Structure 1
Amino acid sequence: MAKTAMKSAKKPTAKTAAKPAKASAKPAAKVSAKAAAKPAAKATAKAAHKVKAKPAKKPALKLSMLKPSVNNMTVRVFARAAGLDAAETDAWGHTRSPEFMARNPAHLTPMIEDKGLPRGVLWESCAIMQYLSNKHGLEKFYPKAPAKRAMIDSAMFYLVGTLYPYVARATYPFLGFPQYAGEVGHSDAHPDKKSEAQKAAMAAIAEPLEVFHSFFRDGKPFIGGKNPSIADIRLAATLEFLAVIDYALPKWAKEYVAAVEKKLGKAYAEPAADVRGYIAYVKSQAKT
């Protein structure tokens, strides 16, 4: 009976002791497995993220341009200064192609392509800057206040309608650019007549130039006030062309262009370098 009692007493104790041990071992094993799995899962996820890198976003704006042109320089400077995501395409030699003409029957640059436009494209530098300023709320370059905006518009229209035709007539023959229909330089007139027209244009530049100084700037650093506006970008770019005829800019105009470049930094300097480089090339060819 003693042996039976001993056996019956030992068996329950061994089994009872073993059960808690197994029970306590299972949670510990699961915790260790989960803890080890987390870093491995994170590493795998990171590796997968690196492999599946997101493709670069396509530029929201396409700009077809000609590097030697101040009209094109205007929009190139503006796009950079405004921080717009624009992809530039050099359209030199392609503006008369069927593909380009299908989109732009005027075959003019600069030209932007943007989904928000009724016909998908827009040319004319001033119109492009106005559109992009309105679309992106760039009041720094193109104020919304009616009176201030009117002055910016007036300065640009006066430039395009009065100053730029003189600049084009005086500089285009030296630059090798085709002139507008109706211009003396575009006709079959005698070379002496063309030369007279160029000299007359050079002499006429001084008057509208002074209007920008005394009326539109009126003692301010820029037409836009403390900061360059779209009218300032257009004017500064236009004055760049006068270097090809060694036009003697008044002191204020030289300081003005330098101030625009300083204020806008690389946004101005990089496109300006293309225009200045082309002018230097043309002048070097004229000497040989």
Structure 2
Amino acid sequence: MAKTTTKSAKKPAAKAATKPAAKAATKPAAKSSKASAGSAAKAAVKPAAKASAKSARKAKAKSPKKTALMLSMLKPSVNNMSVRVFARAAGLDHSETDVWGHTRSPEYMARNPAHLTPMIEDKGLPRGVLWESCAIMQYLANKHGLEKLYPKAPAKRAMIDSAMFYLIGTLYPYVARATYPALNFPQYAGEVGHSDAHPDKKSEAQKAAIAAIAEPLEVFHSFFRNGKPFIGGKNPSIADIRLAATLEFLAVIDYALPQWAKEYMAAIEKKLGKAYAEPAADVRGYIAYVKSQAEA
């Protein structure tokens, strides 16, 4: 009996003495150690997570972006220069491919049966491609809302369109007839320069074209600019880009530009900076090369 009493007396005493003490001693300690471990883990993970997130952002920033807009062009051409200047001035993410000697290839003509440059490839286009420099600039300005280069107001836009159409329909054909023989560019079918006419007749046609340039050029000065710095007003428009690029070709025949035209071209280059100067350098470089070959 004494054993039983002793056992039963000892057990409750032991339970009473040890369990609460154990609970009191161990649970808070366990919680405390968990909290410490959790805090330490958080403290260790947060900077690591921040660092890895920062590295991921840096890697993402450095990785090359895919360009949605692709431009096929010829560096010596003023038609191509127009779109190259425009894309830079507009800050458009694009890639350029020089297709000199490849515009008649089956691959190129499968996309562009007119075998013309400049040509852009853009997902938004019904046939995936677009050529003609003025159409390209109009499309991209409309798509990206570039009102500074191509105003949205109907009356202002009409003047820009009129200037461009007058340029490609009247001024540029004269410039082409005047400069293509010197540039070693093929002239269009039906032109005297393309025919079997005597060299004297071709020379006469070229001189007549040179003489004809002055009239439409003055129209741009007196009508389209009308006292404004540019056709577009205070800032160059797509019509200004197209006109300035066209006038670049006249250097190959040492055409005597009127003073206003020289100042106008200089003002556009100053306003657009590298966006104009870089593509213009390719045209000027080709002209310098052609002239050096003619003098040799």
In the superposition, the TM-score normalised over structure 1's length comes to: 0.92
Whether 2:41 is the aligned partner of 1:37: answer: yes
| Percent pairwise identity | 83
Q: CA RMSD in A?
A: 2.3
- From 202, 206, 227, the equivalent of 1:219 is 227
**In 2, Cα distance between equivalents of 1:154 and 1:26:** 84
**In 2, Cα distance between equivalents of 1:69 and 1:80:** 16
1:230 deviation in Å? 0.6
**In 1, Cα distance between equivalents of 2:23 and 2:159:** 92
- From 100, 105, 111, the equivalent of 2:119 is 111
Residue in 1 that maps onto 2:187: 179
Instruction: Select between 48-57 and 247-256 the one with higher mean Cα deviation.
Output: 48-57
Instruction: Select between 130-139 and 107-116 the one with higher mean Cα deviation.
Output: 130-139
Structure 2 residue matching 1:89: 3-state secondary structure: strand
Residue in 2 that maps onto 1:154: 162
1:12 deviation in Å? 4.2
**In 2, Cα distance between equivalents of 1:153 and 1:48:** 49
Report Cα offsets for 1:125-169 as digits up to 9, x if no partner: 001111111111111111122211111111101100111111111
- Structure 1: which 5+ residue stretches go unaligned? none
1:15 deviation in Å? 5.1
**In 1, Cα distance between equivalents of 2:115 and 2:15:** 102
- From 190, 193, 203, the equivalent of 2:211 is 203
The one-letter code matched in structure 1 to 2:75 is K
The one-letter code matched in structure 2 to 1:236 is A
Q: 1:49 to 1:96 in 2, by over 3 A?
A: same
**In 2, Cα distance between equivalents of 1:107 and 1:10:** 101
Whether 2:104 is the aligned partner of 1:96: answer: yes
Residue in 2 that maps onto 1:277: 285
**In 1, Cα distance between equivalents of 2:230 and 2:217:** 14
Q: 1:11 to 1:145 in 2, by over 3 A?
A: closer
Residue in 1 that maps onto 2:3: none
1:24 deviation in Å? 1.4
**In 1, Cα distance between equivalents of 2:12 and 2:192:** 127
Whether 2:198 is the aligned partner of 1:190: answer: yes
1:19 deviation in Å? 2.8
**In 2, Cα distance between equivalents of 1:32 and 1:222:** 71
How many equivalent residue pairs?
A: 286
Report Cα offsets for 1:55-106 as digits up to 9, x if no partner: 5431121110001100000001111111111111111111000000011111
Structure 2 residue matching 1:227: 3-state secondary structure: coil
Residue in 2 that maps onto 1:143: 151
**In 1, Cα distance between equivalents of 2:264 and 2:183:** 24
Structure 2 residue matching 1:64: 3-state secondary structure: strand
- From 74, 83, 94, the equivalent of 1:75 is 83
- From 140, 165, 170, the equivalent of 1:132 is 140
1:201 deviation in Å? 1.0
Structure 2 residue matching 1:106: 3-state secondary structure: coil
**In 2, Cα distance between equivalents of 1:106 and 1:64:** 13
The one-letter code matched in structure 2 to 1:123 is W
- Structure 2: which 5+ residue stretches go unaligned? 1-5
Whether 2:173 is the aligned partner of 1:165: answer: yes
Structure 2 residue matching 1:177: 3-state secondary structure: coil
Residue in 2 that maps onto 1:250: 258
The one-letter code matched in structure 2 to 1:23 is K
Report Cα offsets for 1:222-251 as digits up to 9, x if no partner: 001111111000000001111111111111
**In 1, Cα distance between equivalents of 2:250 and 2:216:** 14
Report Cα offsets for 1:12-48 as digits up to 9, x if no partner: 4565434312111111111122222224434267448
**In 2, Cα distance between equivalents of 1:266 and 1:136:** 21
